[in-house]
A and B are shown apart, each in its own frame.
Chain A
Amino acid sequence: MNVLIFLIPVALALGLLGLYGLFWSLKSGQYEDLEGAAYRILQDDDIEKK
């Protein structure tokens, strides 16, 4: 069972990583416009006109 010493911290770290992701996305406004983001990717205004 010694492998637990390794596995449990890994499980916790992964969970905490997910939690950090949630906090980050809330803080940076990722939930403000759930519909618009899906369409924004289709816009090509970032492509330079040549």
Chain B
Amino acid sequence: MAASPDFSHFVKTDAEGRSRIDLAIDGITCAACLGDIETAMKRLPGVMNARLNLTSHRLAVTFDAARIEAGGLTGALEAIGYRAYPYEQRKVEADEAARFHLLLKCLGVAVFAAMNIMLLSISVWSGEGASMSNETRDFFHFLSALIALPAAAYAGQPFYVSAWNSLRQGRVNMDVPITIGVVLALALSVYETWRHAPQTYFDSAVMLLAFLLAGRVMDQAMRRKTRAAAGNLAALKGENALRFTPGAQETEENLVLTPVAALAEDDRVLVRAGERIPADGVIENGASSVDESAITGETLGKAVRVGDNVYAGSINGDGALKLRVTAAGNAALIDEAARLIDAASAARSGYVRLADRVSQLYAPVVHVTALATGLTWYFFLGAGVHDALVIAISVLIITCPCALALAVPAVQAMASGAFFRAGLFLNDATGLEKIGEIDTVVFDKTGTLTLPEPRVANADDIPPDLLDLAARLAHSSSHPLARAVALSARSAPPLPDARETQGMGVAAPFGQTEAWLGSAAFCEIESPGAHADASAIFVRHGARWARLLIRQTLRPDAARVLDRLRESGLKIAILSGDRSEAVAPIARGLGVESWSGGLKPADKIAFIDERAAEGAKILMVGDGLNDAPALAAAYASLSPIDAVHLTQTQADAVFLGDRLAPVAAAIAIARRARGLMRQNLAFAVGYNAVAVPFAMSGHATPLFAALAMSASSIIVTVNALRLRGPGKAVTLLLGEPKNSGSEPVRKAAPPNPVAAPSA
């Protein structure tokens, strides 16, 4: 096995000299893993404590840096069959956790207050008129105020802060009417308590907060779970680079395997033949050809030499390169992409969320209604100032957007759960609404319709035993063609005593004779001539041999998913940066009529803008750097998890795995979610249409308010729960194996190349 990487970048040392590292772990399937992992860690010399979090699949280890290196920890985990990589908690994730805790505390306080106030309120309501003396009632009201005021001040923070922020920006969001409603209800109730009046609304105000907080906690919990899983995936990509120790002489001895996250500008790294280029950089030494399909979509290699820029994510061909790492954004291509993204996203930011659209209308309507009601009672119906005010405020309390404010978040929480189970991560909540509205799907070719890494194209024509042998040999090489072979076959144990001849092939004793995998010359076979559009690699065992053709292959379910999308009435197009000759057969195979090849990022945007001008709402699915601007320009966007970082950040959602099914699932779930949101909003509006006349006529007693509020909240929440299902239905339809959707984190992991330890 190769030397373990230098993880010192991730290790934190506390004042007492203990080091701590957080590892993201892949391969946890059951609870038994918990014991295995922790015991394995604690047996290592120098490890003081190891604690695995079974929910987030992270392991925290405290150890003595003098006795064991961090690399030894991951090595030990790998030996028992778990892939691990240091994990750096990003700030967003810490923020999400803090926000979740705050919301949970607020919910706790609100529920405590609501329960205790309800205890008092129900006594008041049931004792009304006869059995309860006025003094007792006033005392109960006073007690309610004592509980409600501090509780509302604490539990309402999330709403007050958000309302204030939105008002300062000159906008109105849902939290503004909520805040106004709560504050007015409390103020009125305090006044009524002071006047010894029979009715107060403390319970309504606090219950409103409790219901809304419950919805937000649900939403936040789901978001946090998604974020943690996405963080693990990012960490487990775990790319390493061979870095020359800074400051030391640039010789072979000073090469250290370093995590990409620890690379800094001006570091010198060595990229050997067939390796993925770890960071953007300028070539200082060497010449090679690089496969930039992850960046531009072009599948033919590009020759590079000293002074050329190369980009992270491209794959080095057959020459070793020494790079000087440059900061991202330094490169012309990335600058261009970033400029296009800025321009495109400015045009897109005009989208207003469904809930905000409703609340922009809702707030003024409700407040005007309340005002009009008060004035009417005062001027025309002869009510006193106090009575008119009470009725006006009771209109506000009754309409208080309990159902309205829950209608969307409840569906959102359920939908992100459904996304998660279907192997999708939502980057942005607005994405959900937008994906539900699209009518055209535009695919990129390389890495989106096709698998990100090339595979054996003619696997069906090769005798299974030779293919198996090829895969076992391929595990011993890091050459891109060998990796393609290894990926194509089921995980087989590597052959012992395999010897690699750099750039030529791998040989190992097998059975009575030798087995070879490599170029025709290496296998000593007469080459049957080059094959257009595919690279060939040969496998030979004794006298038998086979030619494996390696090329980009379609995702296994691409045709079925596209058929299904067409059936559901969506238009489909392919836009590729690759040559037209390479795109044509794929478009033909998938039955897509609208396609074009050889496009620059700006051309893709032009195509999208043109369609958008005709009124189409486009979902762009792409992975390359060249797709990033198009993703930003499209109405909604998706990208696979293997996509370049910049591209992923532009996508509304990211999907996992080798299959294209999540794209269909995303559309199905989003459409259904959008339908449910609209149903819920319609219900909320209908509820108000019934309840408001009650309040306007002065019949909205606190009891009525409490009943109406809880009933409407429960109805919209239950309606949102109906979202469990469609994602599953889509996966079943496409014939996915039963359990593949349930554990997206595991599904994403590439097959472990060092599978099946001999123990």
Contact = CB atoms under 8 A, between A and B. Distances in A.
Contact of B108 (A12, A23, A39): A23
Contacts of B101: 26
Interface in A16-37: 16, 18-19, 22-23, 26, 31-36
Interface string B17-56: 0000000000000010011001100000000000011111
A23 to B, nearest CB: 6
B31 A12 contact: no
A35 B55 contact: yes
Interface residues of A, number: 24
B138 to A, nearest CB: 13
Interface stretch (B109-117, B161-169, B448-456): B109-117
Contact of B53 (A4, A18, A36, A45): A36
Contact of A45 (B35, B109, B115, B143): B35
A15 B112 contact: yes
A50 interface: no
Nearest to B147: A12
A11 B122 CA distance: 15
B137 to A, nearest CB: 11
B34 A18 contact: no
A15 B34 contact: no
A12 B116 contact: yes
A47 interface: no
A26 B57 CA distance: 20
A36 to B, nearest CB: 3
A22 B12 CA distance: 31
Given A36-B52, A40-B34, A11 B108 contact: no
Contacts of A39: 31, 34, 54
B116 A36 contact: no
B136 interface: yes
Contact of A15 (B52, B104, B115, B143): B115
A33 B55 contact: yes
Contact of B54 (A1, A4, A19, A35): A35
B116 A15 contact: yes
A43 B37 CA distance: 12
B55 A8 contact: no
Given A36-B34, A43-B34, A45-B39, A22 B116 contact: no
Contacts of B55: 32-36
B143 A8 contact: yes
A18 B116 contact: no
Interface of A: 1, 4, 8, 11-12, 15-16, 18-19, 22-23, 26, 31-36, 38-40, 42-43, 45
24 contacts: A1-B136, A11-B116, A12-B116, A12-B147, A15-B112, A15-B116, A19-B108, A19-B109, A22-B104, A23-B105, A26-B104, A31-B104, A32-B55, A33-B53, A33-B55, A35-B31, A35-B55, A36-B34, A36-B52, A36-B53, A36-B55, A39-B54, A43-B34, A45-B35
